[in-house]
A = this chain, B = another copy of it.
């Protein structure tokens, strides 16, 4: 099988640890993961909600509620699910919870849906370990956020080194993740270009809001079959216009069908309809992301039939006036 999928065609001497990868990998990981990059590419094209993590009133992960939400999402033509993106409050989960949530989602969703699991930690070693755990728990690929605490030292060289180490040993493909709103750090374009050449790095989620940068990244990685996903519903249409292949959109937790409709309109060439729909997604999106964050996301999920529930502290519930402002954002756009 390995011969037939012609593993690692671009493999240069720098990918010294490939034998190590092969030693680790189980057959299925090989098929879905690294192999798919070289032979049957893991196609990321589509829309993903970065699902929120439901907690009960004791602030424990509420797995039945998680499964309820996934059940409801099964009616929406998502390409898959991101588990433990920023909206999943991953920073507030223990290591064991992080793995268990991925495991449960893996069991709950149909095989044809992709499961992208966040596995980024501050240290390279911890990220490697979490990546392996996520793959074992059923992730089809890992989404690796930039380490950021020592951001002054997170040069292109440091980030290239970090991601290369992780991708060298990951049993599943790696998706880079740049989210400056949370990390105050943008993964530099030059680092992305270098990393796009790694056989086990297949794409990028870019949650920065700089469309020129996204266009440039698509352009400069075209030879690598590198896939860029817009990290927000706010610039989804613009992202498509410059070559992004999909989106990981917090708003898809709430208005999943509508976000998928925008995708469909785009690919069908119905630009006017796509544009009008895009307009109506901006204010709700801003309300549940930059403006009021996860507490607003979870609250709005409830208005649309999902379980939202509390956040873990230090995230506080919305105040009444904040909640009204979130409501206005949805009603002004005709969704409530």
Contacts and interface: CB of A to CB of B under 8 A. Distances in A.
Contact of A212 (B94, B147, B235, B291): B235
Nearest to A147: B314
Interface residues of A, number: 65
20 contacts: A92-B125, A123-B314, A125-B312, A150-B293, A150-B294, A150-B315, A152-B181, A158-B313, A158-B315, A159-B314, A161-B316, A209-B211, A211-B238, A212-B232, A215-B234, A215-B237, A219-B280, A219-B282, A242-B275, A243-B275
Decide if the interface of chain A is mainly helix, strand, loop or mixed. Answer: helix
Given A152-B290, A153-B294, A215-B234, 12 more contacts: A92-B126, A149-B182, A153-B295, A154-B314, A155-B316, A157-B316, A211-B211, A212-B232, A212-B234, A212-B238, A212-B282, A215-B278
B314 A124 contact: yes
Interface string A235-261: 101101111000000000000000000
Contacts of A59: 125
A316 B153 contact: yes
B123 A312 contact: yes
A293 B122 CA distance: 16
Interface string A270-302: 010001001110110010001111110000000
For the complex formed by this chain, how many copies does it contain in all?
A: 4
A210 interface: yes
A241 B275 contact: yes
Report the 5 A-B pairs with minimum CB-CB distance, sorted nearest first.
Answer: A241-B241, A184-B184, A219-B279, A162-B314, A92-B123
A157 B322 CA distance: 14
Contacts of A158: 313-316
A86 interface: yes
Interface in A156-212: 157-159, 161-162, 165, 181-184, 209-212
Nearest to A218: B279
A279 B313 contact: no
Contacts of A153: 292-295, 314-316
